[in-house]
Homo-oligomer: A and B are copies of this chain.
Amino acid sequence: MTRFGDEGGGTSAGDDDVTPYVHKVGVPPKQGILKEIKFALEETFFHDEPLKHFKDQSKSRKLLLAIQGVFPILDWAKRYKLHLFKGDLIAGLTIASLCIPQDIAYAKLANMDPQFGLYSSFVPPLIYAAMGSSRDIAIGPVAVVSLLLGSLLQKEIDPKHKVEYQKLAFTATFFAGIIQFTLGFFRLGFLIDFLSHAAIVGFMAGAAITIGLQQLKGLLGVKTFTKKTDIVSVMRSVWTNVHHGWNWETCVIGITFLAFLLLTKYIGKRNKKLFWVPAIAPLLSVIIATFCVFITRADKKGVQIVRHIERGLPPPSLDQIHFTGSYVMTGFRIGAIAGLVALTEAVAIGRTFAALKDYHLDGNKEMVALGTMNIVGSMTSCYVATGSFSRSAVNYMAGCNTAVSNIVMSIVVLLTLLVITPLFKYTPNAILAAIIISAVVGLFDYKAMKLIWRFDKFDFVACMGAFFGVIFISIEIGLLISVALSFAKILLQVTRPRTAVLGKIPRTTVYRNTQQYPEATNVPGVLIVRVDSAIYFSNSNYIRERLLRLLSDEEENHKENGQSRIQYLIVEMSPVTDIDTSGIHSLEELQKSIQKRDIQLVLANPGQTVLDKLHASEFASKVGEDKIFLTVADAISTLAPKLQP
C-alpha cells in the first residue's frame, strides 16, 4: 500500500505508527442569531470602526469628538504651524492659476456662463476644507462632470433659455449633494466600489475623447455644431463645415496655444521639478491670447471671445432650486448621475493620495463632506464640484500639507471675481478649447489600459465597452455599459466558480491542483476535488453537475490506467466560505447520486460557517461525522486502509 499523507500528523515525525493521529475538525460554539446579524451588519456598514475613538470617553469629550468628526479642521487647525503654511500657500496659488482658466472653460462644457465655473471654485473648496479629511485633493468643477451635466441638462432645456437652464442645473446640483450626503451618512459608500477600476478607466478615456472632440468647435471656430456627443455626429459636423465654417484666425490661435500647452505638459512630465510650468501655462496663455486679441481686435474678424463675465460675489440661488413640480424628478435623476460620477472621481483621488502619504481616509465621511459642499454650492450659484485629478496632482507636487491650499485657492478665485473678471472680455474661446483639450489628455490613460489588457482580459472587455459606449453612443450610455459590465463580472464570478482536481505533491503531504502542479499524482480509488467558491443558489447546480462530470472523467481515467474503481469523492472545502439552503440541497443531491454508484462523499476542512450550517441542516450526520476531516491528508490516511483493491 502506498504510504499516505500525514499532513495532520506532525507528531508522527520520528515514528511510523500504523494509525496516524487525526485531528478533530473544530465545531465552534454556536453563535446566537442576534450576534450573527450584528456581525454581518457591522462588517457591511462599520467595518472600519468609525466610533473606535469614542469608547471610554466622557460625555463632553464625546461631543467634542463628534464635532471634530464632522469638522476635522477643528482638530488639525490647532496643530497648524507656519512652516506648513508655506507649502500650502505655494500649492494654493499654483492650483488657483490653473483653476481659473479651467473653470471658465469647464463652465462652457456645462453650457453655463463662465462666472458659474468660478463660483464653483470658490464656495465648495471652503466647505470641503472645513469638513473633508483629504489633505491633497483640489476641489472645483471638473471636465467630465461638467460635460455629463451639460449633456443631460440640454436634453431637458435648451441652454438658450438661460434662467430655466440654470434653475435645473442648481436643482441637479442640490440633489447630487443630497445623494452624496445620504450615501455617506447611511454608510453606503461601499456602493461606489461596484464601479470597477477597468470600467472607470474606459469611461474616463471615452469622456476625454468626447470632450476633446467637442472642443474642435472652439478650436477651429466652427459655427454650426451638433449637439450630440458621439464621434460620428461630431466628425460630420467638423467636416461638413470645412469649406466655409472654419475661421482661420481662430485656428491659428487655438492650434498655436494647444501646441504650447502640450509642450509645457511634456516638459512637466519629463522633469518633475518643473511641475509648475504646465500649471501656470494656461493662465499665461489666456493673458497672452487675450492681449493679442485686444490689440488686433481679432474678434471683429470672427474670432469668438468670452465677452462677459459677471463680476462680484456668487448670488444666492436657493430660490432658484425646484422643490416642487415636474422638474424635481428630472433634477433628481440628473443630480444622481452627475453626483455619483463626481463621487467616484473624488473618492478615487482621495484614496490615491492618502495611500501615497499613508494617512487614513474614511470614504463615508468624505461623501458627507462632498455632499454638504454641493448642497451649499447649489444655494450659492455653483454647479456640481468635485475633486480634480489634474489639479490635485499639481497640489500634491507643489507641496501642499493641508486643506489650507484649497482655502488659498478659494481666496484667489474670490479676488478674481471681485476685481479682474472684466479683463477676460477679450479672451478668445479658442484658448479655452485648447486648455480643455490639454487638460483631458491626461484622462486618456493608455498605460492603465495596457496593464488591464495584460492582467485580465475580461476587465479589458469592460474597459473597452465603456470606452466605445461613450465615444460612439453617448456619455450616459457609456456609463450604463460600464456599470452593467462591472455587475456582469461579479455575477459571472459567482455563477461559474472554478473547481480543481487535486493530487499529492511528491515528497510532501500537500494536495494541490494537478493543472498548476503537473507533478502531483492522483490517489488510486479516490477523487479529490476543490471547490473554489462559496456554494450559493447561483452556482449550486453548476457545482453539483461539475463534480459529477469530473467524477465521470476520472472514472474513465482510472479504467484506462487499470486502477481500482473510485470509492471516495473527497471535496476539499477550504475555499468554500459559505453555503446556503440551495447549496446544501445540491450537496444532498450529489450524495444521493454518487451513493447509487457506490461512491462515498468525504468533506475536508469545512470552515466555521459551513460547518455550522452542515450541522444545522443535519447534512453533517447524513455524510457521517467520520467522513469530515481537518485536511485532505487526514482523510486519505484514514480512508486508505479501507479502500478495496
Residues of A that sit less than 8 Å from B by CB: 5-14, 16, 21, 23, 26, 28, 33, 36-37, 40, 43-44, 47-49, 190, 193-198, 351, 355, 358, 363, 448, 451-452, 454-459, 486, 489-498, 500, 505, 507-510, 512-513, 515-518, 532-534, 536-542, 545-546, 549, 574-575, 577-578, 580-582, 584-585, 589, 592-593, 596, 605, 607-609, 611, 613, 616-617, 630-631
User: Do residues B510 and A7 form an inter-chain contact, with CB atoms below 8 A?
Assistant: yes
Q: Are B617 and A198 neighbours in the complex by a CB distance under 8 Å?
A: no
B193 pairs with A539, CB closer than 8 A: yes
Instruction: State the Cβ distance, A635 to closest chain B Cβ, in Å.
Output: 13
Max chain B Cβ within 10 angstroms of own Cβ: one of A23, A489, A580, A616: A580
Whole-angstrom distance between the alpha carbons of A195 and B541 in the complex?
A: 12
Please tell me if the beta carbons of A631 and B510 are within 8 angstroms of each other in the complex.
yes
| A197/B616 contact (C-beta < 8 A), A13-B12, A43-B496, A493-B578 known | no
Question: Quick one: copies of this chain in the complex?
Answer: 2
Which of A454, A536, A540 has the most chain B CB within a 10 Å cutoff?
Answer: A536
Partner of A538, one of B193, B495, B507: B193
Q: A196-B537, A363-B541, A451-B617 are in contact. List 7 more A-B contacts (CB 8 A).
A: A47-B542, A190-B496, A196-B581, A198-B537, A198-B582, A355-B589, A358-B592
Give chain B residues whose Cβ lies under 8 Å from the Cβ of A486: 537-538
Contact B190 A495 (CB under 8 A): yes
User: Do A10 and B14 touch across chains, with their CB atoms under 8 A apart?
Assistant: no
Distance of A346 from chain B, by nearest CB (Å): 14
Could you tell me the distance in whole angstroms from the C-beta of A535 to the nearest C-beta in chain B?
11
Given that A10-B508, A457-B37 are contacting pairs, would A193 and B537 also be in contact in the complex, using a CB cutoff of 8 Å?
yes
Cα distance, A489 to B491, chains bound together (Å): 11
Report whether A48 and B549 are in contact in the complex, using a CB–CB cutoff of 8 Å: yes
Cα distance, A28 to B513, chains bound together (Å): 11
Among residues of B, the one whose C-beta sits closest to the C-beta of A34 is: B457
Instruction: Give me the 5 closest cross-chain CB pairs, A-B, nearest first.
Output: A575-B575, A196-B537, A197-B582, A532-B577, A516-B608
Known: A48-B549, A545-B47. A13 touches B23 (CB 8 A): no
| Complex CA distance for A495 and B21, rounded to whole angstroms | 39
